[in-house]
Chains A and B, each alone.
Chain A
Amino acid sequence: MKGKQGFVLILLIIIPVFISGCWDSIELNKLSIISGLGWDVDADTGQVTLTFQSIIPSETKGAAGSSGDGGQKRGNPLHTIQLDSSTGSSAYDALNRYSQHSSRRTFYQHTQLYILGRSAAEQGIYPFLDSIARNPINRPNVLMVVSEKKARDILSIQDGMESIQAMGMAAEIKLSAEYSQYPVVTYLEFAQRLLSETTAPLAPMVGIIEQAGPEGDSVKKTRINGTAVFKGDKMIGQLNEDESRGLLWAINKIKKGFLVIPGANLEIVTAKSKIIPELQDEKIKITIAIDEESNLLEYDGHREISSDLLQDLEKGQAREIERQVMAAVEKSQALNADVFGFGDTVHRKYKKEWPVLKARWEDIYPYIEVVVKVKTHVNEIGEINKALMRD
């Protein structure tokens, strides 16, 4: 009897080990790691095309075995990724069609980038956003960008030093936050803006430029060159370089970067901004207060550094910042898209009035009076006081 019990006990321990069968275990070499995902929609048919950029691990350095073979091929960026597209009536249709003819299971947890084709963005990306949010395997911190043309075009360009293109581009976008030129938007931030009732979602835009290559040929490169402005899930316009900077000033996203004013170039050290709404006689007035400090990097004039000159520089900076912000304000009012989140600040401050305002926000927004108040300060002037050359 005792032996029997022991036997049953052993069975109870051993059997689950096998029937549990590692149900969601999967070997790494049976995975296709998707580094970037592109979303295009055919304007006429509405067919969805998903572009998968997956990593081919055996082509990256550090692959097992074979230290001798393919030395040339290895590390050649074009071989480390595989680009494949599949078309279907919806996101999951396209995905399933792709998975069916893939030798490996797709793995999205390490996806770096979602690239939206411009025409797809203009038609509305809600189906895409939904399919991403609904599946727990997708991470909310994936960067979103809008391609000037098709998403696939961007994913197929090898640019930069990274062997895996999407990872390289993601690194580039993250690093660009240091220059505070275009917004860096993750899926989560995009969705949060979408959830807000009035704020317009944003995404940086990526275009393709051609440069002369080392052998006289032309080499395609990707460039971030604007900010896509959405209204709801549809892209309705874009901000250029100045307007994008102005937007970042207003929404307190300037970390570091450079500011060019006539005759001088300054390095932004710190910048803070605040949006202060005011409701007077049913009219909304927004004050954007910006506080900025910078170092002088370059001064092309011949004046000696003096408090006068510094004041001039500070004024010049303030003018330039105000110009950028106002450019962004004007563009957004022309698009009637609340990229700054003015609506949210008003909501927060005037809770009672908000329901009425919200209903008419479309009509109110283009006519909001915006005042920009800029305080600037030049901290350091560099190693020299006097100009090297006098007039």
Chain B
Amino acid sequence: MPGFLFKKLHFKKILNHEQKKSAGQYSSSVSLSQNLEENLRVLREALGSSSDVIIRDMKISSDSNIDAAVVYIDGLVDRALLNHDILRPLMFNLQLIKDNLSHNHKSLIDYIKSSVLTVGQITVVQDIDRVIARVLTGHTAILAEGATRALLIDAKGWETRRIEEPKNELSIRGSKESFTETLRTNTALLRRKIRDPRLTFESLQIGERSKTDVSIAYVQGITPDNLIEEIKQRLQRIDNDIILDVSYLEQFIEDSPSSLFPTVGSSERPDVVAARILESRAAILVDGSPMALTVPFLFIEGFQNPDDYYARPFFAALVRWVRLLGYLLSIYLPGIFVSLKTFHPELFPTQLLVSVAAAREGLPLPVVLEALLMLLLFEILREAGLRMPRSLGQAVSIVGALVIGQAAVSAGLVGAPMVIVIATTAIASFLVILFAEPGALYRFIMTLAGGLLGLFGIVLVSIEMLSHLASLRSLGVAYLSPVTPLNIRGLRDTFIRAPLWAMDSRPASLDSPNTRRQSSGQMPRPPKSSSQQGDTQ
């Protein structure tokens, strides 16, 4: 059914797309003219009369007879850098140099680039469109009278958030840094984790108006080339006017947009993303988003947590089982409880049935409605707790605890066992944050099915859910692998987490050209005998 709805939506999307196309904004690419005035006029026209666009006129060269202009957007450039390393050398150092360069305008630009400016990244462009585009991303442009080329200097500098602790993916032993909104910072975080020369960041700009920088991170020779090609293709297909967050991309590139389950992974932790890149995945970073996408994304990744790898394997396995169990509980518990109460009371142990029946006496609502109401109430509380100003949080939690926990029970509106079930479910639903959304939806569906058809209904929905999960693919990789299709070696990081020294290969389902990750047999053990100690090498 979702597929059907999506088809309808898709039709509308095509309409929008057509409309947008017709409202294209720039004329086709124009080369810079020799006339500075002319160039500046075009720039002014394109950039409009915004107050943050600064066009600084000046006279340069030894006899101050060449007109030039520096164009930048205030707030996007580092002012100190601009003043000391661009404006000062241009206006002051150039004056000092006694030579005849001024007559050769063609090489003036080259001269400025090679001998005057003391900044790192400078590019030379001929296109006025490129100038406009780059200025908008924070570059500083230098144009000179008589030159058909312009210099673009990367002197970006704006207020950014510091690297902070991860807010959503907490870890006890792992690193305490998370991505920020600045793409460069994020790539640097990754680069600091993987100092391999083959770690590559491929850049794209997506978003017709936002011109958002997007970076695909991968390690050449580990991530399969066809995967990178596929990602690039999917990204290049996007024709959107603004990319505000990495999740915008996620929705454009995912394999199964009508699925309730995400087929693209995301993380705010550089260590997680670095680990996934070395598992032969690719990461997608977007400027302005403190999250990175990782593809392909497998179902089991939702249950993996950085602490699994930092903790010792036995405890990690326990925690992973707890997560799996908790997730199943969060989906099934209300549904099964409702279906037992309405269809199969014989399945309760007698003593439990008596208690449950006692709590059920005199309640006005049917069990299904009671459960759905409580689930809805919980979703309301959760959403309110998430969105409301922090100062009001306490009020909501008090009201929520009182209303749900106590008043509803003592007023005889809701049974105490139902409160316990919903509360357990609610807590369990936070165990696996990545699948919290499909979990919440399936929870409602299961409850409804359990209330209408009993365990039969729950089995029906389970079959639907399982076959759906088995049909999903993420960038061509089966979603449920390595469980199905079964890959015995891959199981070492699913229901258990094998010791790090035992995980010698990258996940086989990801089809890496370089599957070997470490030499085998690294299990720490005492030396066989003291005389052979030196011979092990």
Residues of A in contact with B (beta carbons under 8 Å apart): 6, 9-10, 13, 17, 20, 22, 24-29, 31, 33, 55, 57-67, 107, 109-110, 112, 137, 139, 164, 167
| Bound form: Cα–Cα A63–B357 in Å | 8
Interface residues of B in 371-416 (CB under 8 A from A): 409-412, 415-416
When A57-B354, A64-B362 are in contact, do A25 and B342 touch as well, CB less than 8 Å? yes
Contact of A65 among B351, B353, B366, B412 (CB under 8 A): B412
The CA-CA distance from A164 to B357 in the complex, in Å, is 14
Which residue of chain B has its CB nearest to the CB of A21? Answer: B452
The answer to the question of B363 belonging to the interface, with a C-beta cut-off of 8 Å to chain A, is yes
Tell me the nearest residue of chain B to A63, going by C-beta: B358
Residues of B near A22 (CB, < 8 A) are 342-343, 451-454
Q: How far is the CA of A139 from the CA of B354 in the complex (A)?
A: 18
Residues of B within 8 A of A24 (CB): 343, 454
- How far does the Cβ of A316 sit from chain B's closest Cβ, in whole Å? 43
Q: Which residues of A contact B351 (CB under 8 A)?
A: 167
Q: Indicate if B361 sits at the interface (CB-CB under 8 A).
A: yes
B341 within 8 A of A: yes
* Contact of B343 with A25 in the complex, beta carbons under 8 Å: yes
Contact A27 B354 (CB under 8 A): no
Give B contacts to A, CB under 8 Å.
Answer: 1, 4, 8, 341-343, 345-346, 350-351, 353-363, 366-367, 409-412, 415-416, 451-454
A60 interface neighbour in B355, B411, B452, Cβ under 8 Å: B355
Residue of B with least CB distance to A18:
B452
Pairs across A and B, CB under 8 Å, 7 listed = A27-B360, A28-B357, A57-B357, A57-B360, A64-B359, A67-B410, A110-B350
Give chain B residues whose Cβ lies under 8 Å from the Cβ of A17: 452
Partner of B362, one of A20, A29, A112: A29
Chain B contacts of A60 at CB under 8 A? 354-355, 358
Cβ–Cβ < 8 Å partners of A65 in chain B = 362, 409-412
Instruction: Please give the distance in Å from A137's CB to the nearest CB on chain B.
Output: 8
A167 and B361 contact, CB distance less than 8 A:
no
A64 engages B452 (CB within 8 Å)? no
A22 to B369, CA, bound (A): 13
* Complex contacts, B346 vs chain A, CB 8 Å: 107, 109-110, 137, 139
A22–B339 Cα gap in the complex (Å)? 10
Closest 5 CB pairs of A and B: A109-B346, A65-B412, A57-B357, A57-B358, A58-B361
A26 to B452, alpha carbons, bound, how many Å? 11
Q: How far is the CB of A64 from chain B (nearest CB, A)?
A: 5
Contacts of A167 in B (CB 8 A): 350-351
State the main secondary structure of chain B at its contact with A: helix
Q: Give CA–CA (A33, B415) in the complex, Å.
A: 19
How far, in angstroms, from A151 to B367 measured CA to CA in the complex?
Answer: 36
How many whole Å from B242's CB to the nearest CB in chain A?
31
Given contacts A57-B357, A58-B358, could you give 10 more A-B pairs where the C-beta distance is less than 8 Å?
Answer: A6-B8, A25-B451, A27-B341, A29-B361, A57-B354, A58-B361, A60-B354, A64-B358, A110-B353, A167-B351
Closest to B411 in A: A65
Instruction: List the B side residues contacting A6 at CB < 8 Å.
Output: 4, 8
Asked whether, in the complex, the Cβ of B361 is within 8 Å of the Cβ of A57, the reply is yes
- Shortest CB-to-CB span from A11 to chain B, Å, is 12
- Nearest A residue to B351 via CB reads A167
A13-B1, A28-B345 known; A33 vs B357 contact (CB < 8 Å):
yes
A26 to B340, CA, bound (A): 10
CA distance A26 to B33 in the complex (A): 84
What chain A residues lie within 8 Å of B452 (beta carbons)? 17, 20, 22, 25
Q: Is the CB of B412 within 8 A of A64?
A: yes
- Nearest Cβ on chain B to A371's Cβ, whole angstroms: 45
Shortest distance between the CB of B329 and any CB in chain A (Å): 22
Q: A167 — nearest CB in chain B belongs to which residue?
A: B350
Inter-chain CA distance A383–B345, complex, in Å, is 51
> In the complex, which residues of chain A have a beta carbon less than 8 angstroms from the beta carbon of B359?
62-64
Given A109-B345, A110-B353, are A29 and B360 neighbors across the interface (CB < 8 Å)?
yes
Closest to A107 in B: B345
| A28 and B354 contacting across the interface, CB-CB below 8 Å | no
Which residue of chain A has the shortest Cβ distance to B453 in the bound complex?
Answer: A20
Chain A minimum-CB-distance residue to B360: A28
User: Once the chains bind, are A63 and B361 in contact (CB under 8 Å)?
Assistant: yes
Q: Most B CB atoms within 10 A — which of A28, A60, A67?
A: A28
Q: Which residues of A have CB within 8 Å of B341?
A: 27-28
Q: Closest B residue to A30 by CB, please name it.
A: B360
Closest-CB distance, B351 to chain A (whole angstroms): 8
Complex alpha-carbon distance, A25 and B356, angstroms: 16
A31 CB contacts on chain B under 8 angstroms: 345, 357
CA distance A60 to B366 in the complex (A): 21
A242 to B359, CA, bound (A): 46
Name the contact of B361 in the complex, choosing from A10, A64, A139 (C-beta under 8 A): A64
- Please judge, given known A-B contacts A64-B362, A65-B362, whether A9 and B353 are in contact too, CB under 8 Å: no
B358 A27 Cβ-Cβ under 8 A: no
